[in-house]
Amino acid sequence: MPEGYELDALQLLTPDVMAALIDYGRHWDIEVVEDRMIVVSNRFRRRSDRTETTSMILFAEVVGAELTHQAVTYSDPRAHRPRTDIAVPGQRLRRRSAAWVTVVMCAIVAALLTFPFVLGWALDL
């Protein structure tokens, strides 16, 4: 979490959101990582346990509705336009450059397109 955004996290994880997490998710491991909520259940190994799947869907609907309500009303006072933006210190850091991803993807496509020609040339030798 970026420095100075501890109170903002508490604005999203209000007591009603925490109550929904406890009421509907007490049987699972729940972890918040960056902008994702990861819910882990060890009962999915048994394919015949349909109640676990139904419970997970209900959990996603209830907690998702609570978090959506809090996120819609969230405002970052440090941003230039507080109702629509988040200030630069609170934004997620990029882990990789988009240029490197583009270069790697172009290299893969080029290799796939030239492979038949190279293979034909090697077989003709």
The reply to whether 14 and 47 lie within a common domain is yes
Indicate if the alpha-carbon torsion angle 87, 31, 59, 20 is positive or negative: negative
The reply to whether 53 and 82 lie within a common domain is yes
The reply to whether 81 and 104 lie within a common domain is no
The reply to whether 51 and 102 lie within a common domain is no
How many structural domains does the chain have?
A: 2
Cα distance between residue 25 and residue 47, in whole Å: 20
The reply to whether 21 and 69 lie within a common domain is yes
pLDDT in tens, 51-103: 778 888 888 898 888 888 888 888 787 877 777 777 777 666 556 667 888 89
Global pTM reads: 0.56
The reply to whether 38 and 75 lie within a common domain is yes
